[in-house]
Amino acid sequence: MSKKENVVPFSEVNFNSNRVNLNFNLPEWVNMEQVGVNLSRLEFLMNIGGIKNLTVKGVSGEVSKTYLTSVGSAPDGSNYAGGLGTKDKKDLSNGKLLNRDLGRIQNTRWGNYQVDFNISEIQGIIQNKKLTLKDGNNWRPILDEGLRKEVSNLGTKNLLSFSKNQLIETFLYNVGPIFWVLKNPEILIWGIPMNTIMQTMFRLSDGTIDTIENGKGEGYRLSLIPGLEIDRALVLSVAAAGKPILTDMSVRQNKK
**What are the CA-CA distances from residue 89 to residues 31, 64, 121, 137, 196 (Å)?**
27, 5, 9, 23, 45
Task: Give the integer Cα–Cα distance in Å for 256 and 252.
Answer: 7
182 Cβ partners below 8 Å, 6+ apart? none
Max Cα-Cα span within the chain: 84
Encode 31-69 in three state secondary structure.
ECCCEEEEHHHHHHHHHHHCEEEEEEEEECCCCCEEEEE
Which of the pair, 112 or 209, is modelled with greater confidence?
Answer: 112
Domain residue extents for the chain: 7-161+232-255, 164-230
Is residue 247 a contact partner of residue 254, using CB atoms and an 8 Å limit? no
Cβ atoms within 10 Å of 125's Cβ, excluding its own: 16
Which pLDDT belongs to residue 189?
56
188 Cβ partners below 8 Å, 6+ apart? 181
178 SS3 class: helix
58-67, 131-140, 149-158, 234-243, range with the lowest pLDDT: 58-67
Nearest alpha-carbon partner for 218 in 75, 112, 115: 112
**What are the CA-CA distances from residue 228 to residues 41, 49, 74, 159, 188 (Å)?**
24, 13, 61, 8, 18
pLDDT tens track for 197-254: 666 665 665 555 677 788 899 888 888 777 778 899 999 999 999 999 999 987 765 5
Residue 54 β-bridge partners: 20, 113
**pLDDT exceeds cutoff 50 at 124:** yes
**pLDDT exceeds cutoff 70 at 116:** yes
Task: Give the integer Cα–Cα distance in Å for 55 and 179.
Answer: 43
Which pLDDT belongs to residue 162?
73
Type of residue at 113: Y
Task: Give the integer Cα–Cα distance in Å for 165 and 163.
Answer: 5
